[in-house]
Amino acid sequence: MAGKNDDSDASVEVTVLPQTTMSAEMAAACVEMIKTSMKESKANAEKDLAAKIKKNCDEKFSEGTWHCIVGSSFGISMSFEAKNLMYAKVGRNHVVLFMSYDVDKYLSEVS
């Protein structure tokens, strides 16, 4: 991500991959969050970018807990809420963004 997080007007290209299960509208909002997070991020570390994207999703989509993984090489096994997964390519990195259901909220609804 070097060179992508500076204050220049260079656009960040985010390619949403076919494994994405969220709606087109939600995916478009997440792409904008990824772009904004990359531009606002002061550090080039993937963990900092992932934290920023997660925070933005938690604020915008409050119905569950969001998780974000950013990196060029990683393995993942996860459970996620249906229709709430984004898999994208950003430069040399991949972004996996997904929501897991808020268990406390679920338990309060069924009680």
Give 108's Cβ-side CA count (13 Å radius).
5
Domain range for residue 94? 15-110
Q: Tell me whether residue 64 is in a domain.
A: yes
Q: Tell me whether residue 104 is in a domain.
A: yes
Q: In the structure, what pLDDT confidence band is assigned to residue 42 with cuts at 50, 70 and 90?
A: low
Q: Tell me whether residue 55 is in a domain.
A: yes
Q: Residue 77's domain is classified under what CATH number? A: 3.30.740.10
Full-model pTM = 0.74
Number of domains into which the chain is organized:
1
Q: Tell me whether residue 7 is in a domain.
A: no
Q: Tell me whether residue 25 is in a domain.
A: yes
Task: Give the mean model confidence (pLDDT) for residues 12-27.
Answer: 87
CA pair distance 26, 29, nearest whole angstrom: 5
Tokens found for residue 100: 């897991």
pLDDT score recorded for residue 7? 42
Task: Give the mean model confidence (pLDDT) for residues 26-30.
Answer: 92
> Tens digit of pLDDT for each residue in 48-104?
889 999 998 988 887 788 999 999 988 888 777 778 889 999 888 899 999 887 677
